[in-house]
Structure 1
Amino acid sequence: MVAKIKVTNTVAQVLSCFLSDIGAERYGRDMIKETGLPSGTLYPILARLERAEWLSASWEDIDPETEGRPARRFYRLTPDGVVAARDELAALRDQLTRALGPIGKPRTT
């Protein structure tokens, strides 16, 4: 069972990135480009998601000298992470819909 974490807007962006292609492994620089988040925001989120067991991570098996770059750390949603991410994003969507109404207009009472 995965730990529960607070899903902020930035965490939701990261989770949406992973859910856009569930089977894909992602690495930081790729996610920075896709989400527009700075590294100082993205990497702490990835670390939190990994500690909560929503993500698994592994280092790329390359020779940095041959490749001319450092090895990348790849992240992937765990099966439980997929379920947790979908559930949390759905709850966030429901909360926003209740607050804003069905088409993003503030409710009038």
Structure 2
Amino acid sequence: MVESVRATPAVSRVLAVFLEDPAADRYGLDLMRVSGYPSGTLYPILTRLERAGWIEARWEQLDPAVAGRPARKYYRLTAGGVAAARNG
């Protein structure tokens, strides 16, 4: 079930980024670049959206030593999140 989320301008902008391609996985740095928000603004929004059931998160499965970078946490809109974001 999807709970309501207060639609501040920042939340609306982050949702607009997700709605550009609702099926795409997005990670934090990508979302920061596209939305223009710093991590201190973005991550609290992602936490609220995840707790409300609008997005789901998963950690990338990779060996950081082999990849040469840390694993990324990917975010994606849920079906309920897509509907809620489009409606309001």
Question: TM exceeds 0.5?
Answer: yes
Aligned to 1:31: 31
Cα separation, 2, equivalents of 1:55 and 1:75: 6
Partner Cα separation in structure 2 for residue 5 and residue 30 of structure 1: 22
- Does 1:41 pair with 2:41? yes
User: Relative contact order, CA 8 A, sep 6+: which one is greater?
Assistant: 2
Matched, 1:68 2:68: yes
Bigger-Rg structure (1/2): 1
Q: Secondary structure at the match of 1:45?
A: helix
Runs of 4+ residues over 3 Å off in structure 1:
none
Whole-Å separation in 2 of the counterparts to 1:67 and 1:40: 26
Deviation, structure 1 residue 68: 1.1
Partners in 2 of 1:18 and 1:71 — Cα distance?
A: 21
Count, aligned residues: 88
Determine if the alignment matches structure 1 residue 14 to structure 2 residue 21. no
Unpaired runs of at least 5, structure 2: none
Task: State the Cα distance separating 1:3 from its structure 2 match.
Answer: 0.5
Q: Which residue of 2 aligns with 1:57?
A: 57
Question: Shift of residue 8 of structure 1?
Answer: 0.3
For residues 14-68 of structure 1, what are the alpha-carbon distances to aligned partners after superposition, in whole Å with 9 as ceiling and x for unaligned?
A: 0000000011000000010001100000001001000000001000000011111
- Provide the residue aligned with 2:4 in structure 1: 4
Aligned partners of 2:54 and 2:35: how far apart in 1?
18
CA RMSD after TM alignment: 0.5
Secondary structure of the residue aligned to 2:56 is: strand
